[in-house]
């Protein structure tokens, strides 16, 4: 029987590569944003300026642009049709500000065109929010008290997070693709600046790859623990 103090050192075998990838992804995002956030774009446009230029002709309905506190907290909320820009992006005329703004408008375009992966991701959000804290509890209770059925149910629920992370990746990559196309369409960046925007968005995409890797690593760790549980019965 597994006691409450039980710890399996194989956890590090599963999770360490994913954690290293996550640290690297965060480093890449911060370094890319720091570099291109200090480089002024040729048209001297803030993120708010770029949003006004793009959203007018694109005719995305009732999409509104508002500021939000924090750094790299930019997001588009399909429920309220509000595009939130962090202070640095909204007010600074940098290459990074253009990249982040265009990416979030890419999400607004996905919403406007009923992009299937975005719809699917939104549909499973409630289930993921619940399973994120319920599933581990169910798993370890089942493991500790030798109730394999409950532990497997916890694993199945936890896998919802892996599905969410898997769907998120194409959603984010497509938003970046659309965003870069918008920057070119409206002549908001030149060749060097476009390369900088790609650098920022590629680094951001790596964080979603890392999130998927972490979720899958944890899921495999849970399965390995339950396999060990079965062999010890």
Catalytic residues: 104
Report the alpha-carbon distance of residue 11 to residue 27 in Å, rounded.
24
- Cα-Cα-Cα-Cα dihedral of 39, 40, 46, 47, to 10°? -30
Report the alpha-carbon distance of residue 215 to residue 209 in Å, rounded.
10
148 neighbors 230 (Cβ within 8 angstroms) = yes
């Amino acid at each position: 029987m597994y006691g409450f103090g039980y710890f399996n050192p194989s956890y590090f075998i599963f999770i360490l590569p994913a954690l290293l990838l996550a640290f690297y992804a965060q480093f890449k995002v911060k370094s890319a944003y720091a570099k291109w956030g200090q480089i002024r774009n040729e048209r001297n446009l803030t993120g708010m300026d770029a949003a006004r230029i793009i959203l007018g002709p694109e005719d995305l309905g009732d999409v509104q642009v508002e500021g939000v506190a924090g750094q790299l907290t930019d997001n588009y909320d399909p429920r309220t049709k509000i595009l939130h820009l962090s202070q640095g992006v909204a007010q600074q005329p940098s290459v990074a500000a253009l990249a982040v703004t265009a990416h979030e408008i890419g999400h607004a375009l996905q919403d406007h065109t009923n992009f299937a992966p975005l719809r699917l991701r939104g549909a499973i959000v409630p289930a993921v929010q619940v399973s994120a804290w319920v599933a581990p509890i169910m798993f370890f209770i089942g493991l500790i008290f030798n109730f394999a059925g409950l532990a497997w149910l916890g694993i199945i629920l936890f896998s919802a997070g892996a599905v969410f992370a898997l769907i998120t990746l194409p959603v984010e990559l497509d938003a970046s693709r659309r965003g870069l196309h918008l920057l070119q369409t409206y002549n908001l960046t030149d060749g060097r600046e476009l390369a900088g925007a790609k650098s920022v968005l590629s680094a951001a995409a790596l964080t979603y790859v890392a999130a998927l890797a972490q979720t899958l690593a944890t899921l495999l760790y849970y399965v390995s623990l339950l396999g060990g549980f079965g062999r010890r019965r």
